[in-house]
Structures are given as C-alpha cells and as structure tokens.
Structure 1
Amino acid sequence: MNARLLIVLIVLVAVIGSALGVVYARHDSRRQAVRLGELENERDALIAEWSRLQLEQAFLADAGQVESRARDDLRMQSPESVNILVVRP
C-alpha cells in the first residue's frame, strides 16, 4: 500500500508540475507576442521617420534649394565675373 501511495503522490506532483509548466509557457508566449507587436509598431514608426528624413535630405540637398537659402537667408550673392578665377589641373 505504501508503494502505491508513493507512486500516486509522485504522479500527482508530476501532473501538477506539468500543468504549472503549461500555464507558465502560455503566459510567456502571450507576453512575448505582446512584446513582438510593440517592436513591430516601433519598427514601422522608425521606417516612416526614415522615409521622411530621406525626403527632407533630398529636398535640402537640391541645388536650387541651397542657392535659394544662400541668397535669402545668408544674403549671399554671385561674384562678378572679373572676380572668378578658374584653376585648371
């Protein structure tokens, strides 16, 4: 009788341990799924920001934009032709 009781107790502990393992695994899986969703949202936001920055960089690097800002904001002017020196290699 003691052997049977011991076997039943061991099986009961194993079943309870297994059930707790399943509960923990499911909880961890859900937590990881939520974290994955957060990271995907962050990735999408960063991709959108990168696209905006590339457009802004292309706009600011445009020669017409640079010249316009140099003339308007910095009040720069083109030098007179007599002041331009062409150096050839």
Structure 2
Amino acid sequence: MVTAKQQPNLARIVMQDILHHKWLLLVAGLVLANAVAVVYTSHISRHQTSQLSKLQQDRDRLDIEWRNLLLEEQSLAEHSRITRIATKELDMARPLTNQEIIVRLP
C-alpha cells in the first residue's frame, strides 16, 4: 500500500514549475495581449474604412446635386426666359424712349 505521504502532489509540482519559469508565463501573457490588440485594431480599421466609404458616397451624391442645382440656376436665370415670362405672364413691355424717366440722386 502506498501512503498519502509517499504520493507526489501534482498541483504542488505544477505550481513550482510555473513559478520556476515566470518569464514564460509573462511572455505568454504578452502574446495573448498582443493578439487581442491586433484583433481590436483590425476591427476599428474595418469600421473606419466602412465609414469613410459611406462619407465618400455622400460627398459624391452631394456634389452631383450641387452641379444639378447650378445648372438649374443658370437655366432659370437666362435673359430670354425672364423676358418671355415678363411679356407673357406679367404683360410687361420694354418702355419706349419717350416713356423713360431718369431719376437723379442729390
């Protein structure tokens, strides 16, 4: 029969071995921390890349809208269009030379 005193305590042997090689435990912890940091950085990078892509699409959409508004403004401000609206819709006409009144400021 083997008594309790003669049996090796496995937990104590493992702990002694771990304490004997502290630097390996430290290196393993640093490797694990580095792996977590890489995963987190990759996640943030992908999120920011996605956000940048959305912002660029918004910029392009707004640029197209701005160009369309400029074209619309130019077409609405054409002299021929203004003259046509003034004569047809508002019954306006260009005054004759003898109907012109010149106002002079003092």
Taking structure 1 as the reference length, the TM-score comes to 0.81
1:31 is matched with 47
Determine if the alignment matches structure 1 residue 58 to structure 2 residue 74: yes
Determine if the alignment matches structure 1 residue 69 to structure 2 residue 85: yes
Q: Over residues 35-67 of structure 1, what are the superposed CA-to-partner deviations in whole Å (9 max), with x where a residue is unaligned?
A: 111011111111111111111111122111111
- Structure 1 unaligned runs (5+)? none
Percent identity between the two aligned chains: 33
- Structure 2 unaligned runs (5+)? 1-16
Higher helix share: 1
Q: What is the root-mean-square deviation in Å for CA atoms of aligned residues?
A: 2.0
Determine if the alignment matches structure 1 residue 84 to structure 2 residue 100: yes
Whole-angstrom CA distance in 2 between matches of 1:15 and 1:72: 82
Whole-angstrom CA distance in 2 between matches of 1:24 and 1:64: 63
Whole-angstrom CA distance in 1 between matches of 2:20 and 2:85: 92
Determine if the alignment matches structure 1 residue 20 to structure 2 residue 40: no
Whole-angstrom CA distance in 2 between matches of 1:30 and 1:73: 58
Whole-angstrom CA distance in 2 between matches of 1:73 and 1:3: 99
Q: Which 10-residue stretch deviates more, 43-52 or 67-76?
A: 67-76
Matched pairs, number: 87
Deviation (angstroms), 1:86: 5.9
Q: Which amino acid aligns with 1:59?
A: S
Bigger Cα Rg:
2
Taking structure 2 as the reference length, the TM-score comes to 0.69
